[in-house]
Amino acid sequence: MTAHPHVAIVGAGPAGLACAYKLQQRGISTAVFEQGEAPGGRTRSIHQQGYTFDLGAATLASSYHQTLALLKEVGADHLLSPGCSTIGLVRDGTLHELDLKQPAKAALSPALSLSAKLRLLGLAPELARAWRLSGFDGMARLAKFDSESCQQFVSRRCGKEILDYLADPLIRLNMFTSAKVSSRVDLLWLMRIFSSADIIQVEGGMGAICQAIAKSLNIQYHSAVESVRQDGNQVTLTVAGSQQRFDACVVAVPAPQAAALTQQTHSPQWQWLQSREPVTSVSVHLGLAQQPDSRAGFCLIPSCESEDVVAFIYDHNKAADRAPANKGLLCIHLSADWASRHRHLSDEPVAHLAARTLSARLPSHLNVSPEDIETFHVHYWDYVDHHRPAGTYQALAQVADHFSEGPIKFAGEFISAGIEGAIISGQRCAEQFIRDLAI
């Protein structure tokens, strides 16, 4: 490397920003390239007619230790406050409310039968073994549990009711897929990470996280990187047709995009990234004239209740500043199939159709008419996550230690999951650069 190293970061999401910030704090020059007009990646918010729409990531948790520490370091911890602890679970067209801060009361909910609750206890030994290995620093450590799908595992250990009304909706809310196609590792990890965590909200929207980290960084917006290749001891980026040379580069974009940018690499980690299949979705945000009658924030809806609606969130309950006083804000996450069937429509009919689709599943609870909708926003995701079938983490274990090696490094939630996983991976790349330079 040169006497004054200069490092490129591709992507201004949590991973890229965390890496750039840590390098900058150690006096290493960085340039962050972001193809969009603002930082955040899948952690963005937009403001419209007094409403704040969180487009991607919806919350933090008290278990996000590195994220919370970084926000404190950049002086943004004043934005944090306790979030809504009540979740909803749809069963037989009824929304059951469960307060996670009152587990004894939640255990008495009719959302699950007594026999199902007793069978759930059968997971305790497996959870205990997995929890000792679970963490945001990498899900590859759970590879030994990656032998079957979530559906196969839960059906065998707990039965259909727990599969339908607990395991499947948890996977849908967090991975946007289903228990049928996700590894059992996903369920074990989710239950570990959120079992003892408190929900935390961010004033001004989830996008405020990346806005706070980005303030002191050199970020070039509207700069789409076309390729990243190693060129001797340096790395060459092609940006808008011109070539720029750096001492090293961190590629911090979704797995398929990372593979496309670095296709000349052909390393084992590149091959893993290239094999990731995107999960697509659409999120419909509805500003409502009145608040629906519910205390829940996040609401789980099983596949057996609706194949189309993956999950929904009452954002006005999740965080009070997301909607004007006495107004409601409803976010509906819909499946890839639903998005594909209706993508030819303009946004307004898609918003109304999404409202009808959810209302039809909750006839006694929700009835959103076009007159109730004051504003809306429709956001299509070509990549909201990658599919994580059985075998994903066994393959990841073979390459996980190599993502932060070499002059071209990779960071992102594909190594773990969520904002915390992304930030840890970005920091890990920065730490490796610092060790390489012996700073």
Residue 77 has a CB neighbour count (10 Å cut-off) of 13
pLDDT given at position 428: 94
Burial of 365 (0-12, 13-18, 19+ CB in 10 A): middle
Residue pLDDT, tens place only, 200-251: 999 999 999 999 999 999 999 999 999 999 988 899 999 989 999 999 999 9
Give one DSSP letter per residue of 330-378, joined into a string. Answer: EEEEE-HHHHHHHTTS-HHHHHHHHHHHHHHH-TTT----GGGEEEEEE
pLDDT given at position 439: 54
- Classify 286 as helix, strand or coil: strand
Residue pLDDT, tens place only, 371-423: 999 999 999 999 999 999 999 999 999 999 889 888 999 999 988 788 999 99
67 pLDDT band, cuts 50/70/90, is: very high
Residue pLDDT, tens place only, 35-54: 999 999 999 999 999 999 99
- Cα–Cα distance between 416 and 429 in angstroms, integer? 14
What is the percentage of the chain residues whose pLDDT exceeds 70? 99
- Cα–Cα distance between 167 and 220 in angstroms, integer? 42
Picking from 202, 56, 193, 210, the residue whose alpha carbon sits closest to that of residue 136 is: 193
Residue 289 has a CB neighbour count (10 Å cut-off) of 13
Helix (H) or strand (E) holding 119: helix 114-120
pTM: 0.94
- Average pLDDT on 168-192 reads 92
pLDDT greater than 90 at residue 164: yes
Burial of 150 (0-12, 13-18, 19+ CB in 10 A): buried
- Cα–Cα distance between 126 and 35 in angstroms, integer? 43
The residue type found at 296 is A
- Cα–Cα distance between 60 and 208 in angstroms, integer? 12
